Structure 1
Amino acid sequence: MGKFYYNEEQESYDAIVVGTGISGGWAAKELCEKGLKTLVLERGRMVKHRDDYITANMDTWDFPNARQPTQEDIKKQEKQNRTGYTTRGDSKHWFVNDLDHPYNETKRFDWMRGYHVGGRSIMWGRHSYRWSDLDFEANKKDGHGVDWPVRYKDIAPWYEHVERYVGISGEALGLPQLPDSIFEPMMELNCMEQHVREQVAEHFDGRVMTAGRIAHINSDKRYEGDGRVRCQFRNRCIRGCPFGAYFSSLSSTLPAAEATGNMTLRPDSIVHEIIYDPNTKKATGVKVIDRETKEEFEFKAKVIFLCASAIASTAILMQSKSDRFENGLGNDSDQLGRNIMDHHLGVGASGKYDGFEDKYYKGRKPGGIYLPRFRNIGGDSNTDKFLRGYGYQGGASRGNWEEVISEVSHGAALKDAILKPGGWTFGMGGFGEVLPNEDNRMTLDYDKLDQWGLPTVTFDAEFGENEWAMRKDMKEQAAEMLTKAGLRDVEEYDRPGALGLGIHEMGTARMGRNPKTSVLNGYNQVHACKNVYVTDGAFMTSAACVNPSLTYMAFTARAANHAASELKKGNI
């Protein structure tokens, strides 16, 4: 068939992994290294590390329209264009054509998708933070959602396991609300960022500004993968990194899985149903449609890992109907598709600073600052205005040449000015937690089918009162910190957009202690079908306020090792 890579086609495997992004790569690596013959299915096209990073070495002037999308581009990607960056000339090829892959919105939802081998691990923002017990215990304490069936101590060893493989640059802070990782050297703050850090520490008790903890190698330490070397400070990460400096499944986990000889990778394979055997109460395999030929196949396996993304994995479960599961595989609780979460962002402040005119910086650092959560962590930090909390990301830079374009700047004055960097600016934007709410949901529309005859997804989800109250504080506190740091012309902003804009979809097949109120157990297994695991954002029971990918990795590695052990024992 010409679709298989790395190994030959066969009908039955020990394991099937659906998806090749952050979670799918980790599932493939761990399962293959445990000796399981594993079929990895990706609905999108094949992408080869380095060879297919077609814009990685292009400069701005190499792109038509200086990377800006044309009106024709936007018509094909109107929803993908909502972020403001996914349809640029250097990255639009990583994001789907909305006309080819439609979805429906009862309320606006920004679903940014990349259908190719490597998934969004190629384009992700790379911020990587551990959760704390503050996060794992939040639902139980304030009554929103259901209790997590795990605590930090259960996941901490698995955070360490993946961090040793990934490579995360950052600084140890000893904060209980943001546990430290195993770190690569921190990416140094520039002078303006250091100034704001010092001023925040001086004027605000309990607030600590640090560098963003990002999945970049920042030393000469050797990491496993396809020739991974230290970050080159090009800040072209969304295009694909030829150096493998930032972590992606394409440069790291998939090559590791391939090296075992146990992986078969099949792109262009749209999984749409899990096959269930009511006699054994187990899944026996998956149904697949070839993306290009629309031919249908079935593949069998002893264990199945859904890692296709929160929305896609849940859509597969919903389509997996049988006499036992009339409303979708594992949906006894009616929670499948509910509790959609993301992070709300696009709110904060920025300002200008007079000073450091003699200071500049070298290279294009791929990460800025991070200011961890300081609300509702105990004592004076608690507020009755909203639940949970938020952090900030941002950074400082010197203005560019655009500042000197004006009616009065011309001739010799313009020539002199254009050779000098502009003044310093600093901006910080909040990332806030979204509460789980079972009324925020996705459903399937069988009256609107896609080109493969599959139902399309409909979103009905929105921010709640808690998010709106939190945003007010996020904006005010950002402005106050910048003002106290001596910046001028400080301006607040609030551009809420909608759920999905954070590209952290979570919660559509949550884990929990009770099968009556959750889809998965504490090891990511479907309660009523133990040989099906879901380890992408769908399993999340709450959202916390930090980027979730490191948590996906840790839970996926833990679940894959659990599956291998349970298979060996004959329990699944």
Structure 2
Amino acid sequence: MINLNLKAEAANTYDAIVVGSGITGGWAAKELCEKGLKVLMIERGRQLEHVKDYETATAAPWEVPHRGVLTNELKKGHQFLVREKVYTEFNHSYWMKDGDSPYTEEKRFDWQRADIVGGRSIMWGRGSLRLSDLDFEANAKEGIGIDWPIRYKDLAPWYSHVEAFAGISGQAEGLPHLPDGVFQPPMEMNCFEKHVKGKLEAAFPERRMTIFRTANLTQAIGDRNKCQYRDRCSRGCPFGAYFSTQASTLPAAVKTGNLTLLTDSLVNSIIYDDNKGKATGVRVIDKHTKEMTEYHARIIFLNASALASTFVLLNSTSARFPQGLGNDSGVLGHYLMDHHFHAGASGSSEEFADKYYHGQRPAGFYIPRFANVGNDKRGYLRGFGYTGYSSRTGWARGIAELGVGGAFKDYISEPGPWQMGLMGFGECLPYKENMVSLDTSVKDAWGQPVLKMNCEFKENEMKMRKDMAAEAAAMLEAAGLKNVQAFDRASYPGMAIHEMGTARMGRDPKTSVLNEWNQVHAVKNVFVTDGACMTSSACQNPSLTYMALTARAANHAVEELKRQSL
């Protein structure tokens, strides 16, 4: 006789379960809670309370033991994470230890994972750009991968919905391939950037240089204050001046009284009921006790991040789904993408020697894609956009000098020449062989299999990178900069922290995992709205698209529940 603990099951039952509390998890919880659902949000990381737990947010460099530099002790257990500069002494406690949750590499992949409530919404770069039909239609027009099941018109109102709540500062430019949005007033370019903008656009009339569209407030929203121009965003913002789960979506969800937050809890797999043909809940491992508990709900939103959500699906096997939940097509884990970057150019200028700027603006400028747009045709597919920065060189330019005395002190106390850099972010095509799979030969600290990475940039991306560097140099030279140098510092998948794909959307269940509403084709009460759902990568920062897709899917889920279709 089976012993059913019905009281325990009832206590662990909700209307909806949201897996992950990052950018998309926060949005899913907010939207579902505000629509009246009782929601359980499950986060593998520790609690990180807004303001109180941002321990270094107001600390000057000299107030942190090693001035932000990683010690050998801090590097321990982070064999992959130490490759990138996002991990510093200022925010070291926010990141997951690779040693506890390793992954294996057939080819190098830099997977950067948070281990806190809010996930990477605390440390993200905040770039907030819409995709357009140039992006949604590219696969179909070029015969690459599969066609997106949606178009820009399907997502446009949801872009507006999330922009208005999140707070996106930016400048409308009227570009069809980079649609305008609901913007707060833009941050101001400095005098040198305005000068370069004029020169660049005169030399290249079809190109545009604009302030970056960023999720940093220039006007207060509720109790969220406007940006203070400190540029310490990756430590957590005590002013709530940029969009994060803690500052934005989590308070909104909590306000409804419908949210339960479970921290330090790893979702191991989704429970599938063969008789119902539905998912009924999730299996969760307590991070500290390693005990497993089941939680139940009518709908499940997977928002653990692209690869973590795909891990849960791959690890959710049953008689119906021996290769992973919803994997009838066999494409789950395939078509992994990330943007490639670290190619561009830099230069300097002696102009505006009597000018300076105030504060540390947390956003650079942006040059939207122009390659393969309109009549511009290149020897590769898709394109890239540039993020840019400028500043006066400071005292650090004297590090290589051997000077001493008052004259040398005066020299390094004065601002030096202006410098400017352009760095491209390029689109990666969806390749089936770029993939993740379960590696059962290696276990994490909780006895689970780990992901194996097999991903690389290919010929199309390499051709694009040459163009990214060459065009950057050409634009800086046209703007009158001196000492212009092109660069390509190499880029590996994962480094841009824009991993996406592996559970792509599509119209045909034979070639995709999700439908046009982000539902698993064969298990309609499971939704995946983080980066895993992407059918192509475009070249824009993708987080705003994830937010819009999540809000749209949450609205659809509630409507389907009302119709009793889930």
Q: Which category of TM-score, normalised to the shorter sequence, fits these structures?
A: over 0.9
1:400 aligns with 2:401: no
1:338 aligns with one of 311, 334, 340: 334
Q: What residue number does 1:369 align with?
A: 365
Counterpart contact for 2:79–2:99, Cα < 8 Å: no
Q: What residue number does 2:55 align with?
A: 54
Offset, 1:417: 1.3
Offset, 1:313: 0.4
Offset, 1:65: 2.8
Measured in 2, the distance between the counterparts of 1:518 and 1:349 equals 39
Matches within 5 A, 1:388-467: 388-467=382-461
1:65 aligns with 2:59: no
Aligned-residue Cα RMSD (Å) equals 1.2
1:234 aligns with 2:230: yes
Q: What residue number does 1:178 align with?
A: 178
1:482 aligns with 2:476: yes
1:382 aligns with one of 367, 372, 377: 377
Q: What residue number does 1:3 align with?
A: none
Q: What residue number does 2:30 align with?
A: 29
Offset, 1:408: 5.0
Measured in 2, the distance between the counterparts of 1:542 and 1:454 equals 30
Deviations 1:446-481, CA, capped at 9 Å, x for gaps: 121111110011100100110000000000000010
Q: What residue number does 1:535 align with?
A: 529
Measured in 1, the distance between the counterparts of 2:299 and 2:215 equals 30
Measured in 1, the distance between the counterparts of 2:66 and 2:45 equals 28
Name the CA shift for 1:407/1:504 in 2 (closer, same or farther; >3 Å).
closer
Measured in 2, the distance between the counterparts of 1:444 and 1:408 equals 55
Matches within 5 A, 1:508-519: 508-519=502-513
1:563 aligns with one of 545, 553, 557: 557
Q: What residue number does 1:76 align with?
A: 77
**Percent sequence identity over aligned pairs:** 56
Q: What residue number does 1:10 align with?
A: 11
Residue type matched to 2:35 in 1?
K
Measured in 1, the distance between the counterparts of 2:479 and 2:470 equals 14
Residue type matched to 2:463 in 1?
A
Deviations 1:211-270, CA, capped at 9 Å, x for gaps: 1100011024x34xxx21100000000000000000001111011011001100000110
Offset, 1:97: 1.5
Counterpart contact for 2:95–2:116, Cα < 8 Å: no
Measured in 1, the distance between the counterparts of 2:543 and 2:63 equals 33
Matches within 5 A, 1:84-103: 84-86=85-87, 88-103=88-103
Measured in 2, the distance between the counterparts of 1:503 and 1:390 equals 16
Q: What residue number does 2:4 align with?
A: none
Matches within 5 A, 1:266-305: 266-305=262-301
Measured in 1, the distance between the counterparts of 2:416 and 2:559 equals 59
Q: What residue number does 1:167 align with?
A: 167
Deviations 1:181-212, CA, capped at 9 Å, x for gaps: 11111110011111111111010121000011
Q: What residue number does 2:194 align with?
A: 194
Measured in 2, the distance between the counterparts of 1:110 and 1:199 equals 38
Q: What residue number does 1:6 align with?
A: none
1:347 aligns with one of 335, 343, 355: 343
Measured in 1, the distance between the counterparts of 2:239 and 2:102 equals 34
Measured in 2, the distance between the counterparts of 1:427 and 1:10 equals 56
Offset, 1:410: 2.1
Measured in 1, the distance between the counterparts of 2:318 and 2:404 equals 74
Offset, 1:94: 1.5
1:214 aligns with 2:209: no
Q: What residue number does 1:359 align with?
A: 355
Name the CA shift for 1:263/1:406 in 2 (closer, same or farther; >3 Å).
closer
SS at structure 1 position matched to 2:450: strand
Which stretch shifts more, 16-25 or 394-403? Answer: 394-403
Name the CA shift for 1:237/1:323 in 2 (closer, same or farther; >3 Å).
same
Return 5+ residue gaps in structure 2 as ranges.
1-9
Residue type matched to 1:371 in 2?
I
SS at structure 1 position matched to 2:217: coil
Measured in 1, the distance between the counterparts of 2:159 and 2:293 equals 36
Equivalent residues, number? 558
Residue type matched to 1:293 in 2?
T
Measured in 2, the distance between the counterparts of 1:191 and 1:147 equals 44
SS at structure 2 position matched to 1:543: coil
1:127 aligns with 2:127: yes
Measured in 2, the distance between the counterparts of 1:499 and 1:415 equals 43
SS at structure 2 position matched to 1:31: helix
Offset, 1:411: 1.3
Normalising by structure 2, report the TM-score.
Answer: 0.97
Counterpart contact for 2:394–2:413, Cα < 8 Å: no
Q: What residue number does 2:490 align with?
A: 496
Measured in 2, the distance between the counterparts of 1:97 and 1:551 equals 28
1:315 aligns with 2:315: no
Measured in 1, the distance between the counterparts of 2:413 and 2:304 equals 49
Measured in 2, the distance between the counterparts of 1:340 and 1:515 equals 18
Matches within 5 A, 1:323-334: 323-334=319-330
Counterpart contact for 2:33–2:259, Cα < 8 Å: yes
Deviations 1:300-359, CA, capped at 9 Å, x for gaps: 100000000000000000011011001000000111000000100001000110111100
Which stretch shifts more, 400-409 or 255-264? Answer: 400-409
Measured in 2, the distance between the counterparts of 1:408 and 1:47 equals 45
Residue type matched to 2:96 in 1?
V
Which stretch shifts more, 348-357 or 70-79? Answer: 70-79
Measured in 1, the distance between the counterparts of 2:316 and 2:341 equals 34
Residue type matched to 1:514 in 2?
D
Offset, 1:407: 4.4
Q: What residue number does 1:254 align with?
A: 250
Name the CA shift for 1:525/1:407 in 2 (closer, same or farther; >3 Å).
closer
Normalising by structure 1, report the TM-score.
Answer: 0.96
